[in-house]
Amino acid sequence: MKSSRFFLPAAALLFAGSHMACEGDVSQIGGSIASGEVNISIDSLKYDLQAHTIDNRTFDARSGNILLGKINVPEYGRLDCSFVTRLLSITQLPDSITETREKLDKFLQKLDSCAVQLYMVRGNFVGDSLAPQQAKLFRLTKQLPNDITNEFNPEGYYNPSAPLGRKNYTLANVGAKDESYLKYGNFQINIPVDKQFAVDIFEKYMSDPGIFNWPSQFATFIPGFYVESSFGNGCMASFTQLAVTAFFYDLVRQVKKDDKGNSIKDSEGNYVYETVHQKDSIVLCTTTPEVLSSNRIDYQPSQSILQRINGGENIITTPGGFTTRFTFPAREIIDKYHADNTNLSIVSGLSMTIPADTVKNKFDIYGAPYMLLIKTSEVEKFFANNSIPDNLSSFYASYNSNIGGYRFSSMRSYILDLIAKKEIKDEDVEFSLIPVNITLESNATNTSITYVTKCVPYTVQPTMTKLDTKNATIVFTFSSQMVE
């Protein structure tokens, strides 16, 4: 451990500040509260965290992102992802459809088709966008467990011989016109299903509308879906939403137009009308953060990455795979805090920076955008309770390209809590580093202020992050004074 320490006398700070104010603004208030020289100490420590890699291939895989596909990357390994999900139903269907039995029967005559749609932000995938894929959709036959993990096996929860639908696809918009490709930020896959599936939902709404009020009640009717990648390799997509959509046609009377889009008139100058079938749709149920969605993730690391880890490198992967643990040098920091033998000390700040880099590969698998620093003893409880970092036992940092790593800058409350304790236990200083996906929301009155509203294990896409834990930098700042 290398340490560089700076002591700034209070008098020097006052002198520097006096050049920033007019003479008439100088105030002596507080000058007699305490006497004695004040030192501001800044300890900058280059520290080897002596971290070690942990195999963490079983984890809480509930997430707003749902992964589908298979990849095999020499530097990373083999990844096979599918998912299960419950559904949030529409709470109220339009009266024009379900007000009476007669209206529903009339509407069902116009019902054309039904599809399960998967939505992806354009470009949110890893691998070859031209690789042919097939998604296969199954209706669950019983309730999903609440204590689900990424290793959940859906066998026994669906009938593998009776898929609800299937769809061959690629993630390239090769058939789209340029203006369409640029206009729409989302890419979608439509899995056709028998329109009877939609009919059953409408009929259930007529007979028992109360079941649509709560996801737990709706799950007794439709427990959910299981979607697997039944064909293809070389591409992994991250979808943000699944929706069940019913399509229907309405007869609409409108002005007839020519090939150029101009309205047509007869010889007397009157508009010429025509009756056409106009296609419309209604979303019947969907995935949302309020209902359970969980990725089934099977990750087998490559020999390349295992050799690097066995050789002493600290590499973290997602989704799941490997995390890192280490002992934070809190005891040594507190010893420095007490070393001055002063009777008045105030902690100003504590931060830790860990250099990081991407493991080079040919599949454009990058490093994790966010990292969670958390006491190892609280990891399971943190994710099970959908907690957010509290800057006391858990902290987060985004990757900063300017410093080439992650800086955890809000650790002051943590060290103050330990200073107040009579005894520091091992669980107080044992930490884990886990890639996470952070959801931020802006303050309504000040958009520059943001709050963390969600923190879940990072399952957006595969990542590989190499941490240089042997060269972590810890900065501890406090002021001390001997009061006479």
For 440-480, the pLDDT digits (tens) are 998 777 777 888 999 999 999 999 999 999 999 999 988 76
| pLDDT of 180 higher than 70 | no
**Tokens (6 digits) for 78:** 């083999």
Mean pLDDT in residue range 145-156: 91
Q: Of 371, 383, 378, which is closest to residue 393 (Cα–Cα)?
A: 378
Task: Please report, as a single letter, which amino acid is at residue 53.
Answer: T
Mean pLDDT in residue range 408-437: 95
Quickly list H helices, 249-407.
303-310, 330-338, 379-384
| pLDDT of 25 higher than 50 | no
Q: Of 190, 187, 61, which is closest to residue 124 (Cα–Cα)?
A: 187
**Tokens (6 digits) for 232:** 């293809």
Label residue 250 by pLDDT band (50, 70, 90).
confident
| pLDDT of 406 higher than 90 | yes
Label residue 185 by pLDDT band (50, 70, 90).
low
Q: Comparing 41 with 420, which gets the higher pLDDT?
A: 420
For 44-59, the pLDDT digits (tens) are 889 999 999 999 888 8
Percentage of the chain with pLDDT > 70?
86
Rounded CA gap, 396 and 392, in Å?
11
- Tokens 């802006």 sit at which residue? 442
- The pLDDT score that the predictor gives to residue 182 is 52
| pLDDT of 339 higher than 90 | no
| pLDDT of 260 higher than 50 | yes
Rounded CA gap, 75 and 62, in Å?
26
- Dihedral, CA of residue 233, residue 235, residue 238 and residue 239, to nearest 10: -70
**Tokens (6 digits) for 308:** 């690097």
Q: Can you tell me whether residue 413 is helix, strand or coil?
A: helix
**How wide is the angle at C-alpha 438 spanned by C-alphas 436 and 443, nearest 5°?**
165
Residue 274, class by beta-carbon neighbours within 10 Å (0-12 exposed, 13-18 middle, 19+ buried)? Answer: exposed
| pLDDT of 352 higher than 90 | yes
Mean pLDDT in residue range 362-373: 95
- The pLDDT score that the predictor gives to residue 28 is 35
- The pLDDT score that the predictor gives to residue 442 is 85
For 60-116, the pLDDT digits (tens) are 888 778 999 999 999 999 999 999 999 999 888 889 899 999 999 999 999 999 999
Whole-number average pLDDT of the chain: 86
Rounded CA gap, 270 and 409, in Å?
73
Lowest mean pLDDT among 56-70, 245-259, 369-383: 245-259
Rounded CA gap, 232 and 169, in Å?
10
Q: Comparing 341 with 109, which gets the higher pLDDT?
A: 109
Rounded CA gap, 477 and 348, in Å?
5
For 160-179, the pLDDT digits (tens) are 999 999 999 998 865 454 45
> Which residues, other chains included, contact 52 with Cβ-Cβ below 8 Å and sequence gap of 6+?
314, 324, 325, 326
**Tokens (6 digits) for 224:** 């959910």
**Tokens (6 digits) for 401:** 């390209």
Label residue 343 by pLDDT band (50, 70, 90).
low
Rounded CA gap, 229 and 240, in Å?
17
- The pLDDT score that the predictor gives to residue 341 is 60
Mean pLDDT in residue range 24-53: 64
- Tokens 């199954």 sit at which residue? 138
Percentage of the chain with pLDDT > 90?
65
Q: Of 353, 325, 477, which is closest to residue 415 (Cα–Cα)?
A: 477
- The pLDDT score that the predictor gives to residue 64 is 75
Mean pLDDT in residue range 309-318: 96
Taken in order 372, 378, 382, 383, the sign of the CA dihedral is positive
Q: Of 40-44, 230-234, 276-280, 405-409, which one has max mean pLDDT?
A: 405-409
Q: How many residues are listed for the chain in this entry?
A: 484
Task: Please report, as a single letter, which amino acid is at residue 398.
Answer: S
